[in-house]
Structure 1
Amino acid sequence: HPPLTQALWWESLTAAAIQRAWTLNVGQRSAKQRIAHLLCELYLRMDRVGLVQDGSCALPLTQFHLGDACALTSIHTNRALQELRRDGLLSLEARRLTIHDWPALVDLAAFDPAYLQLSKEPGTSGDRAALG
């Protein structure tokens, strides 16, 4: 079954690419950059499946969850989120993420979505204004 074989290889290659990106993220980026990178990835994935509206999406994760995903303490996570808010890049209120400046957030995070193996441009299913 060649299509099934191709799909399994694609999934395996994508998983390996994501693992490499996150090894780099945890090993070489500051707390603020790690959180920014995670939020870029989550936002982009949700955008791809149509869950972003008006530059905003549900984010039912606590600061503990975000920190755990980025290998950060709760204190570092809180400080990083405060800085991102203060910089005007995003807001995270009532379990809702709103990206205010997508290009600046991407730049800060050094986020290159190529590792996710997504084919569409950002913002094609949601509001493009939020993505710059």
Structure 2
Amino acid sequence: MYSKVHLRYVIILKMKYILSFLVCFYWSKLNAKQDLSKSLIIKCEETTGTGRSDIFRIHNPYFEWYYKGKWHEIGYSKKGAAKDWIVNFNKNIITLHNKKTNWNRLINLKKMTASMLFPTGEKYLYNCIFIDK
């Protein structure tokens, strides 16, 4: 049959596989869905033309845009420019629509990409990263 040393080796090896599987499983679950109950800050850099970037602070139902050194609320408030925006949160997808200009933005927190579509049909694509501001 098998020696005690061999059995211990097999048990340890199996435990390593199980442990590594559990770590990978929980890590993927953790990264698959962002917790929008906490404030997230992302920077999205445009990849299809101007090279501009936008910084957003996301805390469902609040959505803010960092512009000229200040945070500007978008969508939740009915004051200022925020009243023109409709913001929807759906798992890892955030959609924004500006009623006044007919601009549409989509942010995918799982893929860390974004897009901006203008009424002219012009579309900008973005790559996003998490940052601390």
**TM-score (norm. length: structure 1):** 0.23
When Rg is computed on C-alpha atoms for both structures, the one with the higher figure is 2
Q: Relative to total residues, which structure has the larger strand share, 1 or 2?
A: 2
Which one has a larger percent helix, Structure 1 or Structure 2?
1
